[in-house]
Structure 1
């Protein structure tokens, strides 16, 4: 069963959803009872702010990478479509190209 970023499930039937920067920024922790030791809320807020900033940068870079990947794939498809049928280019027509050629006759 897949898990982690990119989709999938983590330990059950609930789909994995990566954290978004706004989720980190708005996360609040319950205060600890006065008789127990706790953590410094300012330190937690500072850390969460830093983490949210890092996530924001990563999400932006991931989106840029996905867009670049889409452009490269489209250019490759276009290039391959112009090279089909050229002897010695190593690109053979796929079934849909052969079908289209037969239907034109």
Structure 2
């Protein structure tokens, strides 16, 4: 009975799993966006019977994939900015304050 309780306490929480799935979903969304673009290109090619229209779909898919990467970057950057505002992560400000103190203590001859 104790062993089972200890195992339940050591079990990972759901947050790391969600974060890993979010990172994994970026890779999947890139592949899906490009495949959907190719599918759109093939559909346009079959409708118009013009071979170069396939490339329109490919470019749409690549543009969608780049947009997905940009959105993920913007989300991560926002999270980074929120972390940077926390006092325990304010080492940059502490280093600047230390440099300012060192400049005041120097004697100019």
Superposition TM-score tier, normalisation by shorter sequence? 0.3 to 0.5
Structure with higher helix content: 2
Q: TM-score of the superposition, structure 1-length normalised?
A: 0.41
RCO comparison, higher one (Cα < 8 Å, 6+): 2
TM-score scaled by structure 2? 0.40
